[in-house]
Amino acid sequence: MTDLPPPFDDWFAARGWSIHPHQAEMLERAEAPSLLLIAPTGGGKTLAGFLPTLAELAEGGHAGLHTLYVSPLKALASDIRRNLTRPVEEMGLPVRIEDRTGDTSYSVKRRQRADPPHILLTTPESLALMLSYEDAPRIFAGLRRIVVDEIHALAESKRGDQLMLALSRLNALVPGLRRVGLSATVEDPEGIARFLARNPDPCEIVHADPGPEPDISMLEVAAPPPWAGGGGRYAIPAVLDQVRAHRTTLIFHNTRAQAEIFFHELWLQNEDALPIGIHHGSLSREQRARTEAAMVGGELRAIVCTGSLDLGIDWGDVDLVIQVGAPKNVKRLVQRIGRANHRYNAPSKALLVPANRFEVVECVAALQAVRERDLDGDPRGPGPRDVLCQHILIRAASGPFDAGDLFAEVTSAGAYAGLTRAQFDACLDFVATGGYALRAYDRWQRLVEADGLWRLRDPRGAARIRQNVGTIMDTDLLKVRLRNRRAGVPLGEVEEGFAATLSPGDTFLIGGRIVRYEGLKEMVVEVSPKPDKPPRIATFMGTKFATSTQLSHRILSMFRQDDWPELPPATRQWLHLQRERSRLPEADRILVESFPFLDRHCTCIYGFAGRNAMQTLGLLVTQRMEAAGLGPLGFVSTDYATLVWGLEEVRDPAPLFDGDDLRDAFETWLGGNAVMKRTFKQSAVIAGLVDRQTRGQRKSGKQATFSSDILYDTLRRYDPDHLLLDITREEALKGLVDFGRIEEMLARTAGRIDHVRARRPTPLAAPLFLEAGRVPVEGAASEKLLADEAERLMEGAGLQITAEDERRWRAPG
Amino acid sequence: MTAYAFDLRGAALSMLPSGGVWWPDAGTLIVSDLHLCKSERVARRSGQMLPPYETRDTLTRLDADIAATRPGRVVCLGDSFDDDAARAGCDPAEAEWIARMQEGRDWVWIAGNHDPAPEGLGGRTAPEMGLGPLVLRHIAEPGAAGEMSGHYHPKARLSVRGRRLSRPCLLFDAARAILPAYGTYTGGLDWTSPVLAGLMAEGACAILTGPCPCAVPLPRRASA
């Protein structure tokens, strides 16, 4: 084992600590060009990442930047600075540590560029911005190591792609640069390693001891879970008992809206007034900071939270994690469980609370997967090209470049290793000329080539490029503030789309309180406190996770069992009843049930492709039913099934799933879809076609800005082969549309369809009637609805719109 | 073509799905805020390279409206070009297209704030013009009667059965009409904006553009 330099030994000894084996291993392999550490939460990951840096710097004599640390969270950067500064000061090491994020002041940033610290803690966006300066080669001149924290989280988003492109640039500036990745437990360490390493360098992987088996089970609740829905409200008394019995409990929810509702209900039943807080990404920074501080100070017994607490900051004394709602994804569940007992080698304790009867099955399947350490995840696709376009712009802002050199750099990033020169050139052409079939911008090209080097035509363009750096999209959020308290802290944020559905007087939940919507002022939602009215629910943007493919398959194999002694009686009987009345879905066949209900003909399709794909399937299938004259009226989707209701009975479902036809219908449907427009908007901003809108710009409400939807429609009409449409399509398929899962379903079932005709709803289908999120089928389309509505309004109460009218107008029936 | 008929100071007008106004008795087609050659101006001034097809798209719709109504006169209510330099830099094929549409009819470019002197592309120019009981100008004047103008790009935002709609719209009351922007690359000013509320009287209506134009009362208060 490598010896620690003396000050470290003394420091560890003085505290009675000893170095973990994986920390020692990181020191030993410090010279590896790429090194990935996989360690459970609380495994001393960060220190493991920094020990080699501190050891190298302990000698003194290093001038300039030595180690760059990148994390996905600003808060993590400043947290680490504090945690690292203490041992450095106590050991008297000659090391300067600073952080640099969007919150760092301009003067400090300037000084950091002129005189960088030894260790700089930053985010992917701040790093990209630093690389856009002409003096980047000088800033990074002495750099030896880069530490990427929470790399498993970064790898799931475009921020990670941007970071890896930045690393490719850094490696070109400083050839000997070593890369270190710190990751939580993941299903595919090699995948993360490929993502981290400079292609084709190898990447060594250090596995920390995964620690003892987690203590994980289902929460025992007296009442059976409801048939449908996602709140978990039925379990609140049992959850409160658990909170009472533990020091600190984290109560995870899958969506922000569910967290808000649960928090609200929890307080209504919290007779002991246990101090319980709430934390999610839509709350204001100030409010989250207050909750975090109360947590660190040990003032809270529980926090109701969402994925915003999935990462990072060490909050000590959590001894129980409760997951409300099916975990959807085993890997995330394992990472969440790790939040409990943030101490190495202590078992984490966790309880699952299925929110409805079907989720009981899913929770049991997830428990089995956790015990077998069988994690899930989708393989990473190729690096997104909109991020590449932005990288080319950033490169141009920092100075002239050779296209061949840049191509070589870019393809050294694992995610872009498969990028062809033609694809790269198309991105460069788009950035330089717009890439349109109509060559309209010869005079105004953004980049021009001279003497074999590409450069900005107008150097002033660099400032604009810097303003648009980043891949995070938050422009659709509006701040929520209490009226008449302009200086007061904002309560949080809601989606602009949600704000648009509000009328004065409407109530909604935010930050655990009910507020009344008063109006919109300068793009701020103004509210007043209103604790006495039942709230409407805020529809926060928070991602709706789909149940993973692997978990879906586990559920389907559970269905093959003759009996289910591992399930609670209510759920067990339910499955037996389904087998008796119809049949249970199977992995290699699609089960379709038809039955009449309330004057409607209903069709239930069990595809087990996850919520997003089942939603897409619903849209496609109803479109075909419409064409076949079956008069579909609407549908609703869950992770496992889609229920369609309409005027005519489906007698032969097979044609609805014909693969080639379905693909054709999909292509047609996709083009005009709102998902595409939303995706286009994001890619257009990232690729630099349109500017990122800041809040300040939106506040001024200038009429000159027009919707990116218009650009999308124009491109589709006049330049359908344009690069950005191609990128949009690729991105949309990965995300909300999730057609890949439909393809997976079609492949595994290969046209084998079981059609069961029943006289009434089957046991498995019945809960679907209670699901929220019904989608009406647009047979008549908006024009007709609008015409009817306009007529009614004009005939209404003179020409004045009363509040009552307004309400009916918004949601008639 | 479905159009929405309305009356302004005795002039029987109808708004076409495109947002243009057809006045059969005067044989006149009125359009506002074409903002032709906008992408060229944006590229020149900011370096952004938007899809350069908006002029083609706007002219295609204008051509279709002319073919459908066969007007003796076309009046463009100002901001026909995104600026005077944009007009000078107009693509020759598009200039020819405009000339072709002008053949055999009176064509009036009203001056706008973007294009104070819209000369050099055929037709005649005017700061404003009187036509029968109406006066046509770019920016509405307080207290005017029988006025048609553009400039503000009014846009309606409403929810119908939970579905959000956002459409350019024409506003009218007994005294005036404010036309929607006709150009493809044009944003909109929310129809509840105070400046529009200040111009339009109680009881004003909005006619929404789209395949079947229809009228709704203009909401009087700020909404989301």
- Over residues A352-361, the mean pLDDT reads 89
Q: Which residue has the higher pLDDT, A6 or A651?
A: A651
Q: Which residue has the higher pLDDT, A769 or B130?
A: B130
Residue A796 has pLDDT above 60, yes or no: no
Band (pLDDT 50/70/90 cuts) for residue B224 is very low
Which pLDDT score, from 0 to 100, does residue A705 have?
Answer: 61
A651-671 per-position pLDDT tens digit:
888 888 876 777 777 777 666
Distance from C-alpha of A564 to C-alpha of A591, rounded to nearest angstrom: 21
Poorest-confidence range of A479-488, A730-739, A788-797, B23-32? Answer: A788-797
Distance from C-alpha of A66 to C-alpha of A52, rounded to nearest angstrom: 11
Distance from C-alpha of A264 to C-alpha of A270, rounded to nearest angstrom: 10
Residue A736 has pLDDT above 90, yes or no: no
Distance from C-alpha of A507 to C-alpha of A516, rounded to nearest angstrom: 4
Residue A539 has pLDDT above 60, yes or no: no
Degrees to nearest 5, angle at CA B195 with B194 and B199: 110
The DSSP call for residue A706 is -
Residue A800 has pLDDT above 60, yes or no: no
Contacting A residues, span 455-484, partner chain B, CB-CB under 8 Å: 457-458, 461, 464
Helix ranges (DSSP H) in A59-182: 74-91, 106-114, 124-131, 136-139, 151-154, 158-173
Band (pLDDT 50/70/90 cuts) for residue A489 is low
The answer to whether A51 and A28 have CB atoms below 8 angstroms apart is: no
Degrees to nearest 5, angle at CA A553 with A551 and A558: 95
Whether A710 and B184 lie within 8 Å, measured CB to CB? yes
Band (pLDDT 50/70/90 cuts) for residue A127 is very high
Which pLDDT score, from 0 to 100, does residue A655 have?
Answer: 85
**Which of chain B's residues have a Cβ under 8 Å away from the Cβ of A813?**
161
Our CA-based measurement puts residue A532 at a distance from the nearest CA of chain B, in whole angstroms, of: 24
For A493, residues 6+ apart whose C-beta sits below 8 A from its C-beta are A282, A283, A284, A477, A478, A479, A480
A131-155 per-position pLDDT tens digit:
999 999 999 999 999 999 989 889 9
Residue A780 has pLDDT above 70, yes or no: no
Band (pLDDT 50/70/90 cuts) for residue A741 is confident
Q: Residue A325: helix, strand or coil by DSSP?
A: coil
Helix (H) or strand (E) holding A385: helix A385-398
DSSP letter string over A257-299? HHHHHHHHHHHHH-TT---EEEE-TTB-HHHHHHHHHHHHTT-
Whether B152 and A703 lie within 8 Å, measured CB to CB? yes
- The distance from CA B110 to its chain's CA centroid, rounded to whole angstroms, is 11
Between the alpha carbon of residue A445 and those of residues A208, A438, B50, the distances in Å are 52, 13, 12
Residue B75 φ/ψ, nearest 5 degrees:
-115, 125
Q: Does A441 touch chain B (CB under 8 A)?
A: yes
Our CA-based measurement puts residue A733 at a distance from the nearest CA of chain B, in whole angstroms, of: 23
Poorest-confidence range of A174-178, A562-566, A750-754, A794-798? Answer: A794-798
Tokens of B208: 């929404």
Residue A408 burial (CB count, 10 A): 12
Residue with tokens 């999120």: A773
Closest CB to A703: pick one of B189, B214, B215: B189
Q: Does B209 touch chain A (CB under 8 A)?
A: no
Residue B18 has pLDDT above 90, yes or no: yes
E-assigned strands of B89-162? 106-110, 124-126, 129-131, 134-136, 147-149, 154-160
Our CA-based measurement puts residue A690 at a distance from the nearest CA of chain B, in whole angstroms, of: 7
What whole-number percentage of chain A has pLDDT above 90? 38
- Over residues A255-274, the mean pLDDT reads 87
Residue in B closest to A500 by C-alpha: B224
Between the alpha carbon of residue A717 and those of residues A265, A542, A720, the distances in Å are 50, 33, 6
Mutate to test the interface with A, among B6, B48, B94 (most CBs of A within 10 A): B48
Residue in B closest to A801 by C-alpha: B219
Closest CB to A464: pick one of B47, B205, B215: B47
Whether A501 and B164 lie within 8 Å, measured CB to CB? yes
Which pLDDT score, from 0 to 100, does residue B26 have?
Answer: 96
A360-374 per-position pLDDT tens digit:
999 999 998 888 888
Band (pLDDT 50/70/90 cuts) for residue B149 is very high
Distance from C-alpha of A289 to C-alpha of A651, rounded to nearest angstrom: 58
Poorest-confidence range of A116-125, A314-323, A463-472, B140-149? Answer: A314-323
Closest CB to A706: pick one of B52, B186, B211: B186
Residue B195 has pLDDT above 80, yes or no: yes
Whether A786 and B208 lie within 8 Å, measured CB to CB? yes
Residue A217 has pLDDT above 80, yes or no: yes
- The distance from CA B48 to its chain's CA centroid, rounded to whole angstroms, is 25
Tokens of B22: 């057809």
* Amino acid at residue number A678: R
Selection from A342, A142, A327, A159 nearest residue A232 by Cα = A327
Which pLDDT score, from 0 to 100, does residue A389 have?
Answer: 98
Band (pLDDT 50/70/90 cuts) for residue A542 is very low
Tokens of A732: 């949309």
* Amino acid at residue number A232: G
Selection from B111, B114, B124 nearest residue B73 by Cα = B124
Which pLDDT score, from 0 to 100, does residue A683 have?
Answer: 93
Peptide bond into A200 cis (omega under 30): yes
Tokens of A53: 């840096």
Which pLDDT score, from 0 to 100, does residue A625 have?
Answer: 85
Whether A782 and B219 lie within 8 Å, measured CB to CB? no
Distance from C-alpha of A571 to C-alpha of A225, rounded to nearest angstrom: 9
Tokens of A174: 């400083």
Whether A500 and B159 lie within 8 Å, measured CB to CB? yes
Residue with tokens 């009867």: A357
Distance from C-alpha of B32 to C-alpha of B180, rounded to nearest angstrom: 7
For A291, residues 6+ apart whose C-beta sits below 8 A from its C-beta are A277, A278, A279, A283, A300, A303
Which pLDDT score, from 0 to 100, does residue B118 have?
Answer: 76
Tokens of A520: 């919109």
Tokens of A623: 């479109």
Q: Does A418 touch chain B (CB under 8 A)?
A: no
A289-331 per-position pLDDT tens digit:
788 888 878 889 999 988 767 665 566 678 899 999 888 888 8
Our CA-based measurement puts residue A303 at a distance from the nearest CA of chain B, in whole angstroms, of: 32
**Percent of residues in chain B assigned helix, strand, coil, to nearest 5:** 20, 30, 45
Strand A641-646 versus strand A600-606 pairing type: antiparallel
Contacting B residues, span 98-157, partner chain A, CB-CB under 8 Å: 152-153, 157
Q: Which residue has the higher pLDDT, A799 or A615?
A: A615
Helix (H) or strand (E) holding A453: strand A453-456
Residue A538 has pLDDT above 60, yes or no: no
Strand A349-353 versus strand A215-218 pairing type: parallel
- Over residues A86-95, the mean pLDDT reads 90
Residue with tokens 């064409």: A627
Beta bridge partners of A217: A351
pTM: 0.84
Which pLDDT score, from 0 to 100, does residue A98 have?
Answer: 94
Whether B57 and A717 lie within 8 Å, measured CB to CB? yes
Which pLDDT score, from 0 to 100, does residue A775 have?
Answer: 66
Which pLDDT score, from 0 to 100, does residue A519 have?
Answer: 76
Q: Residue A118: helix, strand or coil by DSSP?
A: coil
The answer to whether A152 and A188 have CB atoms below 8 angstroms apart is: no
Q: Does B60 touch chain A (CB under 8 A)?
A: no
Residue B40 has pLDDT above 50, yes or no: yes
Residue A34 has pLDDT above 90, yes or no: yes
Residue B5 burial (CB count, 10 A): 13
A543-590 per-position pLDDT tens digit:
467 888 889 999 999 999 999 998 888 889 889 999 999 999 999 999
Distance from C-alpha of A717 to C-alpha of A137, rounded to nearest angstrom: 44
Whether B185 and A810 lie within 8 Å, measured CB to CB? no
Q: Which residue has the higher pLDDT, A236 or A625?
A: A236
Beta bridge partners of A644: A603, A635
Residue A409 has pLDDT above 50, yes or no: yes
Residue A242 has pLDDT above 90, yes or no: yes
Distance from C-alpha of A66 to C-alpha of A44, rounded to nearest angstrom: 21
- Over residues B44-71, the mean pLDDT reads 94
The answer to whether A330 and A550 have CB atoms below 8 angstroms apart is: yes
